[in-house]
Amino acid sequence: MMLQQSSFIPAPPAKLVVDSVSKWYRTARATVHALDNISLNVAEGEFVCLVGPSGCGKTTLLDIIAGLTKPDRGRVLADDQVVEGPGRHRLVMFQESALFPWLTVMGNVLFGLKLKPELTAKERRQIALDHLELVGLEKFADANVHELSGGMKQRAALARSLAPDPRVLLMDEPLASLDAMTREQLYSDIQRIWQTRRKTILLVTHNVREAVCLGDRVILLSPRPGRICADYAVPLSRPRDINSAELAGYAREITAALKSLMSEVVAE
């Protein structure tokens, strides 16, 4: 394991507190109530999955935690500090990889590292290489982004997000656009990486099995306005297999809750 050999000490994972956050969107025709009084605690090093149907404000919530969007009410605390804007300690991994096409894979991983002035060029390169190795892309360091497959792009994006050593990793449906085979491979990779690096991770998804496979906790959000309506602990041992019967049992329970939620919305 290259990472344990290299000299840098990883930053400790963060405690995250979402304190009664509400958000409205004003469009030309109407005001949409996106999030309603969301409160949420995430412990250090915890892996939490947010699940909900589309339109439940999952991405908005993630943006607010990242500091990319300001809440209309409430606040977010990261390590007891109020989040005022985006910061290097809370990196976001997006649904599309958002890799920069004008840089090579290596250049992309170096991008965030170059914003850390305390590192030397040599250290940056070593950290970037270590992370490419962590996601299995060391052979593609000099490749162009368009030459990567969808799964490889998300791996590169993961390496880019992890390399600057953030305390929190926010993942916005990072696997939604991948095919099933690639996704299954990434489930085990993400678990392996999380177990070695112990980041606080908040992952947004609409895939219940994915959430159960990855999360210590699965939080269910209801749509319009987004509210937290259930919080499940997943006590399964790791590494988890997405196809195991035990996991499917948990997923079934949450899916049933999600379905009843949807029918309520339709009935309204």
Residues found near other proteins in the complex (CB under 8 A): 66-68, 86-88, 90-92, 94, 96, 98, 100-103, 111-112, 115, 144-147, 160, 164
Helices 105-114 and 150-162 pack at an angle, to 10 degrees, of 20
The residue among 117 and 235 lying less far from other proteins, judged by its C-beta, is 117
Residue among 127 and 228 whose Cβ is closer to other proteins: 127
Spatial strand order of the sheet with 47-51 comes to: 90-93, 168-172, 200-205, 47-51, 217-222, 227-233
Our CB check for other proteins shows the closer of 53 and 86 to be: 86
Minimum CB separation of residue 72 from other proteins in Å reads 20
Question: Which one, 8 or 249, has the nearer CB to other proteins?
Answer: 8
Distances (CA, A) of 70 to 1, 19, 205: 40, 13, 22
Q: How far is the CB of 66 from other proteins (least distance, A)?
A: 6
* Residue 130 or 165 having the CB closest to other proteins: 165
To other proteins, the closest distance from the beta carbon of 85 in angstroms equals 8
> Measured between alpha carbons, how far is 161 from 4 in angstroms, rounded to an integer?
18
- Shortest distance (Å) from residue 239 CB to other proteins: 28
Rounded-to-integer distance, Cα 198 and Cα 133, Å: 17
What does the angle CA 94 – CA 170 – CA 243 come to, to the nearest 5 degrees? 85
Find the shortest distance in angstroms from Cβ 99 to other proteins: 8
Is the peptide bond preceding residue 239 cis, with omega within 30 degrees of 0? yes
